[in-house]
Amino acid sequence: MTIFHIAHAADWDAALRDGTYRVSRRGATLESTGFIHASTAAQLDGVASRFYSDDSEPLVVLEIDEAAAAASGIEVRLEDGGGELFPHLYGPILPSFVTRVSTARFDCDGRFTVEGDAAK
């Protein structure tokens, strides 16, 4: 299954240099939260609107191969987030788990748009 994580482009660029991505969600780290927040394709727009609509930093959407993460020893659990099950990764995201990186933004009408592949 593919799961998704919204990231600041600068944080993803740093992860490519450092070899791991350790941001749980906007303003929190894997170390402070204990896991990295993710979403399904159906949850992506809602998560973006709720947590990133006022964010002025460039965004990317990471598409993560759950099986690749599990094969590397990263547990992915579906856990309750306000009555809905969200995927959580219990460990860092390695660039090798990420199958696609797409730029994302909010359009002039406030809709979250994902804009094709960015360089991985």
Q: Which domain holds residue 30?
A: 2-117
How many residues appear in the chain?
120
- Would you state the structure tokens that stand for residue 111, as one six-digit string? 């809709």
pTM over 0.85: yes
Q: Which residues contact 102 (CB under 8 A, 6 or more apart)?
A: 60, 61, 63, 114, 115, 116, 117, 118
Provide mean pLDDT across the span 80-87: 92
CB atoms within 10 A of CB 43: 17
* Structural domain total, the chain: 1
CATH value at residue 75? 3.20.170.20
pLDDT tens per residue, range 14-42: 999 999 999 999 999 999 999 999 999 99
CB atoms within 10 A of CB 110: 8
**Residue 81: its pLDDT value, please?**
85
How far CA 34 is from CA of 2, 24, 103, in Å, comes to 21, 8, 26
